[in-house]
Amino acid sequence: MPASTPTATVEALVAQLTLDEKALLLEGVDAWNTNGVERLGIRRLFLTDGPHGVRKVRANAGAFGLAEAEPSTSFPTSTTLAKTWDPDLAREVGAAIGRESAALGVDVLLAPGVNIMRSPLCGRNFEYFSEDPLVSGVFGTAFVQGVQSQGVATSVKHFAANSNEDYRFVGDSVVDERALREIYLRAFERIVKEARPATVMCAYNQLNGVYCSDSRELLTGTLRDEWGFDGLVMTDWGATHDRVAGLVAGCDLDMPGQVAHNHAEIIAATHDGRLPAEVLDQAVGRVLALVEHCTHDHDAEPVDAAIHAALAERAATEGAVLLGNDGTLPLDRTRGGLVVIGEQFERMRYQGAGSSLISPPATVSPRDAFDARHIGYRYARGYRALGPKLDAALEHEALDTARDADTVLLFAGLGDLEESEGFDRTSMALPAAQVRLLDALVDAGARVVLVLSTGSPVEIPRQEELAAVLLLSLPGMNGGEATARLLFGEANPSGKLTESWPRTAADASCAADYNRSAVAAYYESIYVGYRFHDKAGTDLRYPFGHGLSYTTFAYRDLAVTVGDGRVEASLTVSNTGDRAGAEVVQLYVRNNRGEVFKADKELRAFAKVQIGAGAEQRVSLGFDLADLAYWDVDTHDWVLENGDYEVLLAASASDVRMAAPLTVTSGRPSRSPYPASVDAAFATPPRSIPTAFAELLGRPVPHAPRTGRLGLETRLGDAGGSLLGRIFLRAVIGRVGKDFDAARAMPDSLERDARVKSTHFVLRMMPSMSLRSMTMSSAGELPFHVAEGLDLIAHGHPIRGIRRLAAKPRPTEETR
């Protein structure tokens, strides 16, 4: 379902609308709907969250309320799906979610998220595909194509450079032009050009000093004029900064809407000329064009829940990554002495927390799958994933159960109290209770197989002493079945990492400035993920692209040809083991050694191939020569440099198997657009913010704003330096904290777990919100004039502030 420019019918409708109706069409209503105009037959649209299922809530609980949702298939999260390295599978999953969306009356699925995994600490990494823009773009394209093939619109998010949760409402992502183009916009560009998504969602944050919802350069200059996007741009929920400036910039739809101030501003700005009539009508036309598409394109195939459940299981199986194995895996199901430790064996963490929380019709835990196979084992819970304290009794029981065990399966990983939308982690450490268990089991001499559920990299203590490590990531509702199949050799692991796993967060490429303040200095420039680690020589736990199998593969007979602007590589891959398996062949290109600083090598193509035991297959991969271009900040365009490159065929970023030279003569001679100080500072990846970063940006690096006082653009958590800020924060936290406390007081059950994780998400997110973001997301619960009054009082204008608080809304702000 491609997006479209307004039709003659749409243009005729625009001409019949009143100014008030136009303003209404440009905002949401009831948290998840657009407004309709009944007299003209314009219906509402229903928008809801993805990206790994359909979260259609049964009741309006507000922009961040996590009310009970209609049942839908919980597929593996995006990070798990990408680890399959199979875009066709991603397209199938997208189509299945599209079918379920259509069946539930959903018009726009708010997915996929294609932000780059800049840091392993980002709380929302599980919703994203990769640290690499090619992987992110290819999987985002496939997902959009799948969903929209069923007549359901998508919303590609979060545009752009949205790489943390702690400062997402007020933060400023300070990114140099080249890194923005090569790393952070590249996936969006591919998706827009190849998949034609119906909508794009702008991010909360500022980008180089301008809120994304206000950035004409981003939303019109780049997205529309340069890339040819012809769909609708909407805000993230509460991301509006200045409604009129946003419309002028190209931000059409304000969600969740029902902010009287914004409605009034549209009308006032139209009258006084700040908002040209043609700009207003253009935005309205885009909303109506989306309504027209969604009305006519609901032709999805019927939903077969069993087929979708099987698809979820397949994706979970193919997305699991065997990180290490001394030969202990696969297990012999007939052999006794198996001990299983860890709550996640019976209460599998199969999805992330936050706005993507799905309500599946059923789940299959690893314990369910073991019991269905009549596997013999002894089990102890070991820890409570949603418990705030260590449980000595559970730990003692687990160690007692594991005494004299032949093999111990330790199910561990991050819980929803450690990893979620709404906040970032402060370290990569596993929960303390799990680390204590792991240490004690290894010290006791047990042969330990670690089974990990996590949406982001974690530290793995004693990794060298473990028998095996199997990463499930977040495998969806049938993840338990996938786990059993992999552990007992019914399926052969074939997933590979789409992000680098440093040993600690201190080794990450952005460690020197991640979440230090509201100003996020992307000082590492293009050196993100493996681009950093390759050149910096990081001693990684696991490299990008890593993943083992129960068989082995050999590469030979590489041939590379160049013609018609394409580079084609072919090689023979042999399965040298006694099991059928799948190999992900990764093609990197080592960059030329020219005048411009570049990563050592970059992923340019990949292919996943299934090969029988003892068999071989000829594999072909290709890419455009233009893909080797870098973004030149002088010409503001892509430039291909002449020089000697090298084509590398690899099993991971650190396991290059074959190489062939590639000489480029169709470009231009290498020359640097940067001052010599920048060339020197970025010849190797910086480990701290270099003084030349300002020169790279072409402007001074902004200082973080002073905090301590309550304000429209201050995080509530930073407003504690004033009495008013402390009072307001205490009131807000007290309100949402009651829900969290009530959830924790419930009897131990799966229902309690669900309530705890959803209320915890809101509780942890609230300190990151500002008065403005609360106003824009609360559908009138916090009116804008009240937020203005509080801001005035906090900034030393008590009389004006009290007057604003006491005053009725301006005439044009009255509730409609």
SS3 85: coil
Burial class (CB in 10 A: 0-12, 13-18, 19+), 392: exposed
Could you tell me which of 241, 205, 199 has the C-alpha nearest to residue 118?
Answer: 205
Give kind and range of the element (H or E) at residue 413. Answer: strand 407-413
362 backbone dihedrals φ, ψ, rounded to 5°: -165, 160
Number of CB atoms found within 10 A of residue 5's CB: 12
Residue 778 sits at the vertex; the CA angle it makes with 776 and 781, to the nearest 5 degrees, is 120
Number of CB atoms found within 10 A of residue 621's CB: 18
Rounded CA separation 173/209 (Å):
8
Q: Which residue has the tokens 């909303």?
A: 287
What six digits make up the tokens of 631? 């973004």
Residue 126 makes CB contacts below 8 A (sequence gap 6+) with: 77, 78, 79, 80, 352, 419, 455, 456, 473, 474
- Residue 258's beta-bridge partner residues? none
Q: How far is CA 426 from CA 255, 498, 511, 710, in A?
A: 30, 22, 11, 25
Could you tell me which of 274, 240, 277, 280 has the C-alpha nearest to residue 257?
Answer: 240
- Residue 611's beta-bridge partner residues? 581
Interhelix angle 277-296/8-16, nearest 10 degrees: 120
Rounded CA separation 191/197 (Å):
7
Q: Which of 49, 132, 176, 236 is catalytic?
A: 236
Rounded CA separation 587/633 (Å):
27
C-beta of residue 182 within 8 angstroms of C-beta of residue 630: yes
Rounded CA separation 269/249 (Å):
14
Rounded CA separation 157/113 (Å):
5
What six digits make up the tokens of 650? 């690899």
176 a catalytic residue: no
Q: How far is CA 493 from CA 229, 446, 485, 555, 614, in A?
A: 39, 24, 10, 19, 17
C-beta of residue 102 within 8 angstroms of C-beta of residue 342: no
C-beta of residue 687 within 8 angstroms of C-beta of residue 524: no
- Residue 601's beta-bridge partner residues? 590
3-state DSSP of 730-754: HHHHHHHHHHHHHHHCCCCCHHHHH
- Residue 69's beta-bridge partner residues? 57
Rounded CA separation 431/411 (Å):
12
Burial class (CB in 10 A: 0-12, 13-18, 19+), 541: buried
Could you tell me which of 492, 611, 605 has the C-alpha nearest to residue 555?
Answer: 611
Rounded CA separation 162/703 (Å):
19
Rounded CA separation 542/503 (Å):
8
CA dihedral 254→219→284→137, nearest 10 degrees, is -90
Q: The sheet that has 407-413: what strands, in order across it?
A: 321-325, 468-471, 448-453, 407-413, 338-341, 378-380
- CA-atom Rg of the chain in angstroms: 27
Active-site residue list: 236
